[in-house]
C-alpha cells in the first residue's frame, strides 16, 4: 500500500533572541521520520516542548511563530509539499490536509455561524457548491453525534458547549473530504466525561470517512484508544516509534516505560478516619448576583490525611475551596476546624487561623509575584507569621528548599527563571513555610506534564509523611485520586454526589454520575474505548 504521508529526516529550526547576546539558532526537531498510510492514525506523544505540534504542522508545510523547516522532506502522495510555492501549498491546506486545534473556542470566529465556518474551506477550494457542502456538514454533524444536527449549523460558537465546539471543528476539518487531518490535542481542554464523547466521535468519524490522521497529545492513554501507530517524542527527537500494541504493552525505551507506568500509582487509604480536622456542614454558597453554586455540601477530613474532591468543571469544587479559605463566605452552614467553628469571612479570621490553612493553586505562574525572588516568596510567611528575619530566616528558607528537593542555588531566582514544575514546588514551599495543618491543593498538577506531575504528587505524599499535614485535593483526575486520597468527595453541579473512604466511593454500587465519571477516565489499554462505549450511554451528547 502506498504511503499517504511520508516524512523523511525532518529538521525544524527557530531563531531565539536572548537579550544582550547575538541571535542563536535553536533546533526544535531533528531527524524525525515516519510514514502514514491511507485511513490510518498515527499518535504523536510527548511532553510540552517535545516538538509534537511543530511536527504536526509540518504536514501542512507550516512553521508557527518563526519556526523554519530547514531539512528533510514531507511527501504527500509522493509529492514534496515543502517545495510547493505559496500558491501550491494553499491548494493543499484545507483541501488535502486539515487541522483541528486544541482550543476550538479560540479557533472559531465568534461573529459567524458554525455552519458557514464548517463549509467555508470546501466552498473556497471549489470542491462543492453550497448545497452539497451543507448536506455534507449535516452528515458529519450526525456522524459526530451532535444534538439537533439540522439546526446545529445555525448556531454561533458561544451558543454551544466546549465539547460540541470541538466536534464542530472536527466536522470543519472533515468537510472538504481531506486525505489527512492533524489533530492537535483536541480533547485536552475538555472534562473527562466530555473527552470520551469527543474521542468516540472523532474515532467514529475518521473510520467512517476513511481519513488518515496525525493525533497529537500528551496523554498516552488517549492515544492508545485511537491510533494504529505511536511515535514517542522528547526534545524534538524520536524516542520510540512502533505499533500501538507494541508501545503500550512492550515499550522498548526507558522513557516510554515511564510514560506508560505513570498514573498507575495506588495508595491504600488510612484505616482510621475518625480524628477530624476539618468539618464542612450543610454549606450553601453563591455569588453576589444571586447565582448559587453550592447546595448543601457536607464532608469532613481526618488529621494527616487527604480528601480528594472530584468533579468536572462547573461542579463547584474550586468554589468549595474558596469557601473554606473564607474568600467566599457561605450563605448557610458552618465550617469547623479542629473542633472550633471558623469565622465565615476572611476578615474575621485571626492570623493564626489563616496560617493553619494554606493554598496551592493550579497555575503557579500567576500564584507567585513575578517581581519577587524565591527567597522573598518563601521567606514572607516566615517573617509574617513567625517574625523571623536575617540569617535565621535565610536558614529556614534553605531548609524548605531542601524539603521540596530544590537546591539553594534557586534562592535568588525569579519565577520567570523556573520551569513549571519548579514553580509549583516553590508554591508548595511557600505553603509549608507557614507550618499549616491543612493545605488546599486546587488542581496543582493539571497544568503539568505527566512525569513532572508525578514528581509533585510524590513530593506531596512525602511531605505528608514528614509533617502530618492534611490535604484537600481538588482534581478532575481519578488516577490522582487513586494515587493519593484517603477519602473522596464526588461533586456534580454544586451538589455532593458521594462521599466516604476511597475504597467505598470507588467501588460499586455506584450512583449514575460516579459511574459515568469513573468509566470516562481513559485507561492504558487498547480497546478500552469500545468496551466502555458498550456499557455507557452517550448521556453527555449534550456536552
Partner 1 sequence: MNLRSIPFSAWIGIIGIAIALLCALFAPFLAPFGEREVVGDIWLPAGGDFLLGTDNLGRDLLSRLIYGARTTIFVALAATVLSFALGMILSFTAAVTGGFVDQFFSRFNDLMMAVPTLIFALVVLAVLPQHLWILVLVMAVLDSTRVFRIGRAVALDVAVMEFVEAARLRGEGNIWIIFREILPNTLSPLLAEFGLRFAFSILFLSTLSFLGLGIQPPAADWGGMVKDNKDGIIFGISAALIPGAAIAALAICVNLVVDWLMKRTSSLKGGRGDA
Write down the least CB distance from residue 431 to partner 1, Å: 9
**Among 2, 19, 126, 290, which residue interacts with partner 1 (rule: CB under 8 A)?**
19
* Cβ-based neighbours of 481, under 8 Å, separated by 6 or more: 308, 310, 473, 475, 488, 502, 506
Q: Which helix (H) or strand (E) holds 238?
A: strand 237-243
Which lies closer to partner 1 via its Cβ, residue 19 or residue 271?
19
The one segment of 66-74, 177-185, 246-254, 368-376 that binds partner 1 by CB under 8 A:
368-376
Segment contacting partner 1 (CB under 8 A): 40-48, 237-245, 366-374, 477-485?
366-374
Strands 68-76 and 438-442: unpaired
180 pairs with which residues across the strands? 97, 212
Question: Could you tell me if 233 and 51 are in contact, meaning their C-beta atoms sit under 8 angstroms apart?
Answer: yes
Q: Shortest Cβ distance from residue 487 to partner 1 (Å)? A: 24
Q: Does 390 bind partner 1 (CB under 8 A)?
A: no
Strand partners, 439: 358, 471
- Set of cell numbers at residue 405: 528537593
CA distance linking residue 318 with residue 448, whole number of Å = 18
Interaction residues for partner 1, span 426-455 (CB under 8 A): 430, 434
Quick check: 379 binds partner 1 (CB under 8 A)? no
**Dihedral-angle region of residue 231 (phi above 0 means left; psi in -120 to 50 means alpha; beta otherwise):** beta
Q: Is 371 in the site for partner 1 (CB under 8 A)?
A: yes
Binding partner 1 (rule: CB under 8 A), the pick from 44, 133, 359, 521 is 359
Closest approach of partner 1 to the CB of residue 178, in Å: 42
For residue 265 the three cell numbers come to 500509582
Footprint of partner 1 on 300-339 (CB under 8 A):
325-327
Is residue 130 within 8 Å of residue 149, measured between CB atoms? no
* Interface of this chain with partner 1, residues 461 to 500, rule: CB under 8 A: none
424 forms part of the interface with partner 1 (CB under 8 A): no
Query: Nearer to partner 1 by C-beta: 369 or 419?
Result: 369
Nearer to partner 1, 199 or 367 (CB): 367
Q: Whose grid coordinates read 500564584?
A: 367
d(CA 171, CA 403) in angstroms, rounded, equals 50
User: Contact between 403 and partner 1 (CB under 8 A)?
Assistant: no
Tell me if 384 contacts partner 1 by CB under 8 A.
yes
Q: Which residues contact 445 (CB under 8 A, 6 or more apart)?
A: 424, 452, 453, 456, 457, 475, 477, 480
For the record, the C-alpha cell of 274 comes out as 475518625
- Complex with partner 1: residue 267 or 380, whichever CB lies closer: 380
Q: Rule CB under 8 A: is residue 422 a binding residue for partner 1?
A: no
* Helix/strand/coil (H/E/C) assignment for every residue in 5-55: EEEEEEEEEEEECCCCCCCEEEEEEEEEEEEEECCCEEEEECCCCCCHHHH
Q: Are 273 and 487 in contact (CB under 8 A)?
A: yes
Q: Is 367 in the site for partner 1 (CB under 8 A)?
A: yes
| Binding residues among 133-172 for partner 1 as defined by CB under 8 A | none
User: Is there binding between residue 18 and partner 1 (CB under 8 A)?
Assistant: yes
Q: Which is nearer to partner 1, 363 or 533 (CB)?
A: 363
CB of 369 to partner 1, least distance (A): 5
Q: How far is the CB of 426 from partner 1 (least distance, A)?
A: 12
Report the nearest approach of partner 1 to the CB of residue 400 (Å): 15
DSSP string, 195-220: HHHHHHHHHHHHHHHT-EEEEEES-H
User: What is the closest distance, in whole angstroms, from the C-beta atom of residue 543 to partner 1 in the complex?
Assistant: 28
Residue 436's nearest CA partner among 462, 397, 463, 396 is 463
To partner 1, the closest distance from the beta carbon of 366 in angstroms equals 5
Check if the beta carbon of residue 224 is closer than 8 Å to that of residue 248: yes
Binding site for partner 1 (CB under 8 A): 18-21, 325-327, 346, 349, 351, 354-355, 357-359, 361, 363, 366-373, 380-381, 384, 414-417, 430, 434
Amino acid at each position: 500500500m502506498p504511503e499517504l504521508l511520508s516524512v523523511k529526516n525532518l529538521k525544524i529550526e527557530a531563531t531565539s533572541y536572548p537579550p544582550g547576546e547575538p541571535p542563536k539558532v535553536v533546533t526544535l526537531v531533528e531527524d524525525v521520520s515516519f510514514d502514514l498510510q491511507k485511513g490510518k492514525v498515527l499518535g504523536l506523544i510527548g511532553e510540552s516542548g517535545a516538538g509534537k505540534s511543530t511536527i504536526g504542522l509540518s504536514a501542512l508545510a507550516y512553521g508557527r511563530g518563526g519556526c523554519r523547516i530547514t531539512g528533510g522532506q514531507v511527501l504527500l502522495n509522493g509529492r514534496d509539499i515543502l517545495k510547493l510555492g505559496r500558491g501550491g501549498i494553499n491548494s493543499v491546506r484545507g483541501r488535502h490536509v486539515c487541522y483541528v486545534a486544541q482550543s476550538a473556542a479560540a479557533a472559531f470566529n465568534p461573529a459567524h455561524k458554525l455552519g458557514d465556518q464548517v463549509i467555508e474551506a470546501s466552498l473556497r477550494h471549489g470542491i462543492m457548491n453550497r448545497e452539497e457542502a451543507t448536506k455534507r456538514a449535516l452528515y458529519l454533524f450526525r456522524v459526530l453525534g451532535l444534538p439537533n444536527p439540522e439546526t446545529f449549523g445555525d448556531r454561533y460558537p458561544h451558543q454551544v458547549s466546549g465539547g460540541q465546539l470541538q466536534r464542530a471543528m472536527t466536522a470543519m476539518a472533515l468537510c472538504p473530504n481531506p486525505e489527512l487531518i492533524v489533530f492537535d490535542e483536541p480533547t485536552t481542554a475538555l472534562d473527562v466525561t466530555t473527552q470520551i464523547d469527543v474521542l468516540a466521535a472523532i474515532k467514529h468519524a475518521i473510520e467512517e470517512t476513511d481519513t488518515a490522521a496525525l493525533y497529537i497529545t500528551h496523554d498516552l492513554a488517549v492515544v492508545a484508544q485511537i491510533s494504529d501507530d505511536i511515535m514517542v517524542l522528547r526534545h524534538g527527537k524520536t524516542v520510540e516509534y512502533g505499533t500501538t500494541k507494541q508501545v503500550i504493552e512492550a515499550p522498548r525505551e526507558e522513557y516510554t516505560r515511564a510514560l506508560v507506568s505513570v498514573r498507575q500509582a495506588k495508595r491504600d487509604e488510612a484505616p482510621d478516619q475518625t480524628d477530624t480536622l476539618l468539618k464542612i456542614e450543610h454549606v450553601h454558597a453563591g455569588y453576589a448576583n444571586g447565582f448559587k453554586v453550592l447546595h448543601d455540601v457536607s464532608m469532613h477530613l481526618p488529621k494527616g490525611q487527604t480528601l480528594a474532591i472530584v468533579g468536572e468543571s462547573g461542579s463547584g469544587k474550586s468554589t468549595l475551596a474558596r469557601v473554606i479559605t473564607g474568600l467566599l463566605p457561605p450563605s448557610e452552614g458552618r465550617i469547623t476546624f479542629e473542633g472550633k467553628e471558623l469565622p465565615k469571612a476572611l476578615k474575621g479570621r485571626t492570623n493564626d487561623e489563616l496560617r493553619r490553612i494554606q493554598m496551592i493553586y493550579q497555575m503557579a505562574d500567576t500564584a507567585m509575584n513575578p517581581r519577587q525572588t524565591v527567597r522573598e516568596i518563601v521567606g514572607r510567611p516566615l517573617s509574617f507569621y513567625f517574625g523571623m528575619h536575617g540569617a535565621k530566616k535565610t536558614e529556614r528558607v534553605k531548609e524548605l528548599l531542601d524539603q521540596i528537593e530544590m537546591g539553594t542555588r534557586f534562592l535568588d531566582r525569579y519565577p520567570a527563571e523556573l520551569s513549571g514544575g519548579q514553580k509549583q514546588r516553590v508554591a508548595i514551599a511557600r505553603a509549608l513555610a507557614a507550618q499549616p495543618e491543612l493545605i488546599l491543593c486546587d488542581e496543582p498538577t493539571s497544568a503539568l506534564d505527566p512525569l513532572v506531575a508525578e514528581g509533585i504528587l510524590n513530593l506531596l505524599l512525602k511531605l505528608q509523611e514528614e509533617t502530618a499535614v492534611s490535604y484537600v485535593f481538588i482534581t478532575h483526575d481519578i488516577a490522582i485520586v487513586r494515587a493519593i486520597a484517603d477519602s473522596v468527595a464526588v461533586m456534580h453541579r454544586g451538589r455532593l454526589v458521594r462521599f466516604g473512604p476511597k475504597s467505598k466511593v470507588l467501588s460499586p454500587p455506584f450512583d449514575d454520575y460516579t459511574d459515568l465519571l469513573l468509566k470516562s477516565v481513559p485507561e492504558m489499554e487498547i480497546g478500552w474505548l469500545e468496551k466502555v462505549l458498550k456499557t455507557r450511554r452517550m448521556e453527555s451528547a449534550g456536552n
